[in-house]
Structure 1
């Protein structure tokens, strides 16, 4: 809408509309662009903690600045509105090429076919990092590329909404999509300071937008708003931030639902990825089950389903080594690389594994598998760790296979008196430690093994040290202490705090064993779980008892190497899993054994959530099967859903705002609606008629004119309604009925607005009486006919722009 389409004062004398005022264009583009860039960068600071360190911030800042500057320049040189985001996309492509693929680009800036190949490589690296690490992830090139790409697109969206379309409030959707990342990935969520910075950025955009909307007259275009308004706005913004910060402190935490307190969102719920340890803590904190697995076995003792191992403890993050060069194809005649010439009699254990929901590239199997039958797809196995993985490292679902494994019948007598393993007994990766091993780990190992001799006594001493009263099992302490995850630094913190979950206990025993000279590794998989009470006959007639595990049974445990016997499992985590008979610590007073230790020492599985005890005076009811947790898939799609919802909300917000404006006008045209006052009409394009009335014809004409603007037919300066109607009908090629409807709307508008007051009889309400009793229905019918005519004659591109990016929303700022 332009000045000439605005209604003059109700008491103005009849005659032509006043000439348009001089248009002053203060430097809004650059000011608004600077506010958008500042807001995006302030929000991006919340990524600290998702990404390790601050090395990612300079390239992200450069990317944001390049996108915003390109869009501001496009607006400055009067590019068509549709080309402004295109300029931002071009700048994003150039800056990403220069930062990450300059060697493949033309002149180091212009992308080529090789640049696209480099981009795919970076995406693959980022995917591997996400699957192999837990936040904060290392800021390698792939992750920084993803961060810059995502932030650049968000900056483009924010600046488009806040500056190009002049909808600063809607730009908060783009900022929210950036804040969602740390909110769902960091256990402590965004944090107070990053939230304050993000809120300040959003308020800056709103303040800039309000300044743009202020009327600007010749001579005072740069006039600042009154101090009272600034103070009021600052007070409201500060109050809102204080309330947002204080309210969560007054609300209790939550331990149930899709996002339990202290958990990270894991959109791969049910999957272990290439590094199951990254989701282990999150899976244990989930109150609902996912990735349910049933297995039936003839093993007489508790059975651990083993997925993979960690053996390289030299890096800042620990991940499984795929060892692609040494893996062997096929799942028959499998045997460990180490020779177990002193092993006692071995038992052949048959285990049938099935699942409809567990997804992972790693195949679950008891140690040590000999033969696997029924597993679909290409698989390979590693002789050094006896882990099985799919040939293409992709997830496999709907498990249904049978494993034949060998289990040694070990006793304490078999382990006592063994000499330390020779240096060449195992691969050096199972004995190496980082040179900068923290003193706390060395001191703990020395204190635990003091006075012991031989590897078995040392292993038992380390296990007893970690299971002692000084240590406690906790899922929350690592989160609150900031050492949730894995790595030497995390292990250092754990040994100081002495509270954590299975990952910390298993890693501690593995590293302390190496410090004592015992080869070790850390296994990942599932604890024994719960019996279903069912049994099935095996292929050889043996009885297979069925058990069930899910994501909350995810577990980690150490395996220590004893020369001649092979790899032996220990259980240092209190109240989890089961302690094998050969690793049970003798006690002089059995009554001192804790209740949660009795089943562990008996070799029976421990439920992750034991039922509450009943009164001892009541008769003991018949033992019932423990309640089965309800499996849910909500977390699997929650992250993707949030991102898609935020993006869809941002893209659909112009359409929703335009639809709301049309609905309001239609409602005001309803039967019995009086003329409406337009307070504050002295804004852009107004003539200072603060109490003028808006009649039904004016509302209908404004809607028709806005529809014309949406389809690209913008009124020209000093163009009268009659001239605009004629041009619109000609340019759009309206059909006869649509052109006639537009002419009726124009005539009704001119009659309502330009007729002299004396020529319009007034009633008590002040509304004109020369219109039918219910003019709204007929007027809106004409509006609908005009809109349908514009739709029929428009191209598909114009239809999309009119629906999802209606230009009339910004017309009030272009006067």
Structure 2
């Protein structure tokens, strides 16, 4: 069957791309991505169909399809990026880079099924746009619809490899139906050319469908019958021991609530420190804050060494005897090394240590271990003048979720109104939450959703540690300070022998904020539980106490402050210090690469087209037609007038403008092409490709340098169609 270029092609391609997107559904918590993906691929289909109706050059139509999808992606991406950057002005390129990083972080650190995170949804739409334009190039650009299976199978293959269970046969059926639809649409379905007489058209098309369905049924039966007996081995081999691995961990906030509300205290562990001083023990940090509250981001665990701490602090050595079962290893922050029996891995972003053994939920029962950590011990002066740093792990700890009550933002602005530096803002927030206005109680709502946080900050002013910590994390992020919520244990009770005992009632959460030069610094906003560290002493921090239901009125008068008068540390415009310039430099690199790719796209398309036309293994008639198309394209690219007569007549008419050595080569090519077209015995086409290369080399050699460069980077043949197509 001959290839048929019609408006139906692009419409079928867009529908097929959408069907392939459905194969991603098992890897996501919901189908929120489908609406936007449908709009992107539908735009491509409509533009492609209009281009075919207008008989526009195919490559021009494909470029217009690409441009239309890019416009949609950029427009939607900039809108989505506002929730990623927290309102920081990073420019359009920086915003899109941040959005893409957010999506890739969700994929890299997440566990299936992945949440409908805004960056991930945008990345999926971008990937489907790439799949769609690849299908257009293969089907309508290179006229090779059979190769459409390659990009269509990529998305299905991702799910088949990543999902612990088997992909449903229905998902593969979606891909198969789309692929068959492309083949039928592009090979003249309904036209009946070469089917014999007109009366045979219906029978011919029916036979095509019957054969296709029969082959599909046979393939499906073979797959269903043979797959159970084929030794494929375990899926997700990267989860094997000794390799970096994403592990689905339980929600520590649920465990926190359960332990705090136990009727009877249960001993968790006893410990000793090298200095004899008590210490907080940390298990994990929650970096994601969504409309559902503070959440654990599933980790990309590593089994190598943790590495040294770059931030300043005091070294702590600890010996622990643990009786309680846990998948996390309680250690001081920030842990540098540990020695414990069993299999362990760590998250490089939060320095959480996680069990990876066969019985990892009980790996700590009866476990004795040692650890060394560097505890942050800045001075009050250093904290008060510190500038917010750029979180090395990305912008997740700066993200303020959509849907937060605007009054919380107003409240935060009032609380930090008297603070000149980011560190002073953090001290003011902690002081406000520890004021008499707030009360500690375990009877407050257990949810950490933003609605509950807003209720806590604006109305009830009552809660337990998770409310105080979530409240400070939210207010810190609104102030432009990276913040996350740590989960662990308060120091516990001292024993006569110098050890300390920690029970389930010591389980606790507290915020950690990131500052330039200081790293992650713990704070303690929860009153009635523990005293704050000396470097965040609320007695010398801002004592501003705005009303619980703030209005846009001027900020209340701040109380007296003993903060030292120190010249603020110079910062960049967004207050993140010199490191904030790095994303801009990276954005510049992406811009340069993008410009280079766009500039090279015509050259790459034309080179790929030439390679495909001159490839070996084609039927003689197809090879001859492809060769003549390539000769025509070469003449057009070099600005040489082309004659649209039959090959031999055209060759005879064009030799006057060619080098003498090229005329015989062109004549031989034309003769072979005509014999392949019309001779009953066919023609030997084995030397055609080499003859075309020789002809092109001779023609390029006599052209001016400007014509040659234009032919390479602005090939005019991509914008001209053959007569009759």
More helix by share: 2
The structure with more radius of gyration: 1
Bigger relative CO (Cα 8 Å, ≥ 6 apart): 1
Scaled by the length of structure 1, the TM-score of the pair is 0.43
